Chains A and B, each alone.
Chain A
Amino acid sequence: MTDQLYQDRIVALAKARTGAGKLSDPTKSARRDNPLCGDRVVVDVRLDGEGRILEFAHQVRGCLLCQASASALSAVAVGRDAAGVEALRHDAERALGREAGEPHEPFDAFKPVQNHKSRHECVLLPFEALRDALT
């Protein structure tokens, strides 16, 4: 048995469900589906006048990796604008080995996903939804 993918940090992030739920009065919402696996993410954001995230919430109907990613994103998204969220995405891409460089907390937790290319989209789906909400 070699299930190196589901390491404790990823499972803990998913179970923490940080930011899971809805916002009562979101500035914007966006939904993204992964047509290949059926995973679905809805994100709500409340923004200030300059496009910075004041509040972030997500609803994930998807796998543990997608839940963990949304949870990690939720922990660090507040205070960032679209460019700031893109910087986080680069960190996630680095964790997945899609970009050069060392990823930082919390997305370094996803390094075990590097060799499971079919699961990269699971990690990136919350970023796609958030990108839609911010543009």
Chain B
Amino acid sequence: MSFDVAAVRRQFPILSVVVDGRPVHYLDNGASAQTPDAVLDAVRVYETTGRANVLRGVHRLAERATEAYENARAEVAAFLGVPEMEVVFTGGCTAAINLVAYSYGSLLKPGDRILVSELEHHSNIVPWQMLRQRAGIELDFAPVTVDGRIDLDALPRLLTPRTKLVSVAHVSNVTGSLVDVRAVVTLARTVGAKVMLDGAQRAPHGPLDLPALGIDFYVFAGHKAYGPNGIGALWARAELLEAMPPFHGGGSMIGRVTKAETTWAPPPRRFEAGTPPIGPAIGLGAACKWMRALDWTDAHAHEMALVERLMGGLQKIDGAQLFGPASLQNRYPVVSFTLDGVHPHDVAQTLDSFGVAVRAGHHCAQPLMDRFDLDGTTRVSIAPYNDKTDIDALLTGVEHAARTLR
């Protein structure tokens, strides 16, 4: 393996920042990843040399802004392996799911069903519950296996001819498990259901080939994928976008407005009402370009070597228990654990005192916590810029918590 982690780290200014006298061991990438110079520079170039509104202006700055905004869409599309007119910029991953729940959801009839799983982030549960309340659809939950994977064996009995959409996490934000997309798509197609993947935890780990996955919708967040906050993306097949009514009304998303009625712009503009988050979109485009330039074979091997080091270290700590797949196969570098007798927040607080940033709690996945009767977990989420010192500092902190807090 020839992955040069030091070279990657040098591209992230925050990693050289010292907080309270010590470097930050940032292992909370699943909540928000850090941002490389390439992204910061792209946003700064827009803000300082091309800041203007997009689409409507004829002056040179407006043309520059529009070109940069649409180039960003092309970068996102290239990252996903899809046509750029199928990429919709949204306010984030949650906003993208809400868009689908509203717009695709408005095509559904009372009694139609949507299938999610017990391990979903609240953002892939609550919009569907709201649709259930609004439109009378039914919501089904696929169970989760003891090792934190969606139990695909249960899908055949849960799928019905009324199931219109299967919406699941591509990678769990709690257990790191990778769903078997091919199996989900094959099963969903037996009843004619569409498939949406919540890619929030998968997108930060390299380019995708969405057409090859055979799915219908994909969503991800910019800030978890080395981009700015306030931006995300929805991809959907052109014919689906074409059939879907708008989510928000306003400027930019119209064909023609009269006092009597309004016609809609074609996708993707139909779903981008008002002035979009232009700078963040440009930043996301730069983040996608940055990810495409990285050798992900080596980067992923590096990430998973850190997962192995982490899991091996945790197994040596009395009372530390992994929650999720024990193997390195079909998983991504998101690792949850519990420490007997110590609440996850106290583990995380102790780790902070060692300069280690992690996330603790229910991870916006309360149904999963309920399923396993957990108060929460401590979650370590790894990015390509993490190194062995991050993992070792974490293990030292967990040992300290185990020794002092119970």
Given the complex, which residues of B lie within 8 Å of A11, measured CB to CB? 404-405
By the criterion CB–CB under 8 Å, are A6 and B354 in contact? no
Does B350 belong to the interface (CB within 8 Å)?
yes
By the criterion CB–CB under 8 Å, are B404 and A37 in contact? no
By the criterion CB–CB under 8 Å, are B20 and A63 in contact? no
The A1-38 residues at the B interface (CB cut-off 8 A) are: 1-6, 11, 36-38
Given the complex, which residues of A lie within 8 Å of B298, measured CB to CB? none
Contact of A6 among B344, B397, B405 (CB under 8 A): B405
With A1-B354, A1-B400, A62-B375 given, is the CB distance from A37 to B361 under 8 Å?
yes
Contact of B349 among A38, A39, A61, A116 (CB under 8 A): A116
Max chain A Cβ within 10 angstroms of own Cβ: one of B346, B350, B366: B346
Interface string of B260-277 (1 = CB under 8 A from A): 000000000000000000
By the criterion CB–CB under 8 Å, are A119 and B375 in contact? no
By the criterion CB–CB under 8 Å, are A64 and B343 in contact? yes
Given the complex, which residues of B lie within 8 Å of A119, measured CB to CB? 345, 349
Given the complex, which residues of A lie within 8 Å of B343, measured CB to CB? 62-64
Give the docked Cα–Cα distance between A2 and B369 (Å): 31
Given the complex, which residues of B lie within 8 Å of A122, measured CB to CB? 345
Give the docked Cα–Cα distance between A111 and B355 (Å): 22
Residue ID in chain B nearest A62 by CB atoms: B343
Given the complex, which residues of B lie within 8 Å of A62, measured CB to CB? 343, 345, 375
Residue ID in chain A nearest B347 by CB atoms: A63
Given the complex, which residues of A lie within 8 Å of B369, measured CB to CB? 38
Give the docked Cα–Cα distance between A64 and B404 (Å): 12
Given the complex, which residues of A lie within 8 Å of B353, measured CB to CB? 1-5
Interface string of B346-378 (1 = CB under 8 A from A): 100110011000001110001001000001100
Q: Which 10 A-B pairs have the closest CB atoms?
A: A3-B353, A63-B343, A63-B345, A38-B362, A64-B346, A37-B361, A2-B353, A63-B346, A61-B375, A38-B376
